[in-house]
Amino acid sequence: TGCFTYDPGFTSTASCESKITYIDGDEGILLHRGYPIEQLAEQSDFLEVCYLLLNGELPSPAEKAKFEQTITRHTMVHEQLANFFRGFRRDAHPMAIMCGVVGALSAFYHDSTDINDPHQRMVASHRLIAKVPTIAAMAYKYSVGQPFVYPRNDLGYAENFLHMTFAVPCEPYKVNPVIAKAMDRIFILHADHEQNASTSTVRLAGSSGANPFACIAAGIASLWGPAHGGANEAVLKMLTEIGHKDRIPEFVKRAKDKNDSFRLMGFGHRVYKNFDPRAKVMRQTCSEVLAELGIKDDPLLDIAVELERIALQDEYFVEKKLYPNVDFYSGIILKAIGFPTSMFTVLFALARTVGWISQWKEMIEDPVQKIGRPRQLYTGATRRDYRPLNERG
Ligand code: CMC
């Protein structure tokens, strides 16, 4: 008994108060701590955005330098964690590895279990921002059978990640600064997005007082699905399956068919009923990366541009306000940089880690928050009596 609001998918339920991220879905506006995403993507850098999300304000030059030094100091993972990787099949999906290994950090940092200590909360946040790129690069190296590459603390955040991912011991490797800048921008565009499925998962897991590393592993699990972070991987698979511009109408027709489960991946959003502002920046970054790499005619990009054009004119998509989202162009950039599709969602997880941990921290510090415990509308059998096995059937 009881009176509850039935809200499947939480389409109209605010689960918390938050000062971190503001979205106006009708206008296509995204602000982090008040700053427009376009300005951050153009003028800031990822570590500065991390500081902003975590602390609420942009850092002073001294605070920025100290933060960068702190994150850099935490980039190594315990050598024993490398052994943990070896338990996975070599063809394991890197997101499966990420769920397992990030969750395993909770076994390495028992001190973080003391979530009531603000210092421990901050240390856990720094460790996560610093170590997730190392773990992501290790997941990639493990999948291609190459030795792990240790972090290099003389490099910037994105540069170091590219180095750990693509350097091999037998060959010199120099990170292309244009690509590092694009990578950094992709991280900024994915850093936070208020109460989406994975962030809500982190908050719900954390609301019981669980270890923060375990909570982030829960977020990674939620992000993996194709309706959420897995969409960037799904977009590239879809563009590959379409194969040629001539086949676009056929796929658009399928996406509109109620009896066909196919959807245009990278289109639509629960909150944005306008262009996803991140998609606009991503489109621009995509052109820059392809130009830098000397890729003139990318067949997948051609299909993507044409698909976007056709869908934006189609009555179905216009009426339902389905616009390209952040995942629509990111896959093309990541593929051009050299990442396999299975790594796309890992990169999303890497960047979103700061959003998850900032939201976790805000929740723990919010005196109003209690354990998350949704109710249900029970629709099962009414009370009945147990019958012994020999009386059944
Ligand atoms: N293609 C075709 N039809 C669509 C699509 C699409 N991509 N997205 C939504 N619709 C239709 C849907 O069939 C429904 O129609 P009707 O009202 O006639 O039943 C209507 O639009 C509303 O869709 P919904 O599923 O009720 O909306 P939602 O808010 O629950 O879902 C979404 C949002 C993002 C899961 C959905 O738009 C989708 O599946 N998009 C494709 C996957 C994708 O690109 N996900 C990435 C989201 S952005 C980044 C992230 O969160 O990680």
Residue ranges of alpha helices (H) inside 115-196 are: 118-144, 157-166, 177-189
If asked whether residues 74 and 190 sit together in one domain, one would say yes
Torsion over CA: 124, 130, 131, 133 (sign): positive
Q: Do 223 and 277 belong to one domain?
A: no
The encoded tokens of residue 18 equal 């938050």
Range list of H helices, 299-387? 299-313, 315-319, 327-337, 344-364
- What range does the domain containing 328 cover? 232-337
How far is it, in rounded angstroms, from Cα 276 to Cα 291? 23
Q: Is residue 52 in some structural domain?
A: yes
Is the CB of residue 25 less than 8 Å from the CB of residue 273?
Answer: yes
Does residue 321's CB lie within 6 angstroms of at least one atom of ligand 1?
Answer: no
Side by side, which strands form the sheet with 35-36?
21-24, 29-32, 35-36
Residues 269, 298, 302, 385: which is the catalytic one? 269
Q: How confident is the model at residue 112 (pLDDT cuts 50, 70, 90)?
A: confident
Spatial separation of the C-alpha atoms in residues 342 and 340, rounded to whole Å: 5
Residues 274, 177 share a domain: no
Q: Do residues 272 and 347 share a domain? A: no
**Domain presence at residue 388:** no
Average pLDDT for 112-130: 94
Closest C-alpha residue for ligand 1 atom 27: 270
- Determine, yes or no, domain membership for 369: no
> Do residue 182 and residue 289 come from a single domain?
no
Q: Is the pLDDT of residue 1 over 60?
A: no
DSSP code, position 324: B
Q: Which pLDDT value is given to residue 297? A: 81
Tell the residue nearest (CA) to atom 50 of ligand 1: 228
Looking at the structure, do residues 204 and 238 belong to the same domain, yes or no?
no
Q: Which whole number is the average pLDDT over 196-209? A: 97
Please indicate, yes or no, whether residues 67 and 176 belong to a single structural domain of this protein. yes
Is 26 among the catalytic positions? no
| Euclidean distance between CA atoms 354 and 75, whole angstroms | 14
* CATH code: domain of residue 250: 1.10.230.10
Contact between 230 and 349 under an 8 Å Cβ cutoff? The reply is no
- Give the Cα separation of 61 and 245 in Å (integer): 49
Task: For residue 152, name the pLDDT band (cuts at 50, 70, 90).
Answer: very high
Torsion of CA 104, 361, 74, 347, to 10 degrees: 70
273 within some domain: yes
Q: Are 112 and 209 in contact (CB under 8 A)?
A: no
Residue 4: what pLDDT?
Answer: 85
329 found inside a domain: yes
247: confidence class by pLDDT, cuts 50, 70, 90: very high
Domain assignment present for residue 146? The answer is yes
Q: Is residue 357 part of a domain?
A: yes
Tell me the pLDDT tens digit for each residue of 336-377: 999 999 999 999 999 999 999 999 999 999 999 899 999 999
Q: Which atom of ligand 1 is the closest one to the Cα of 269?
A: 34
The neighbour count for residue 59, using CB atoms within 10 Å, is: 17
Could you tell me if 311 and 217 lie in one domain? no
Could you tell me the CATH number of the domain that includes residue 158?
Answer: 1.10.580.10
Select the more confidently predicted residue: 296 or 126.
Answer: 126
Instruction: State the chain's mean pLDDT as an integer.
Output: 94
Taking a C-beta distance cutoff of 8 angstroms, is the pair 220, 95 a contact?
yes
Residue 275 has a pLDDT of 86
Q: Are residues 82 and 166 in the same domain?
A: yes
Residue 259 placed within a domain: yes
- Clarify whether residues 194 and 248 are in a common domain: no
C-alpha 228/C-alpha 250 separation (Å) is 24
pLDDT digits (tens, 9 = 90+) for 28-52: 999 999 999 999 999 999 999 999 9
Total tally of structural domains belonging to the chain? 2
Whether residue 89 has pLDDT greater than 90 = yes
Question: Distance from the CA of 22 to the center of ligand 1, in angstroms?
Answer: 21
In this structure, the answer to whether residues 200 and 273 fall within a common structural domain is: no
**Same domain assignment for residues 119 and 187:** yes
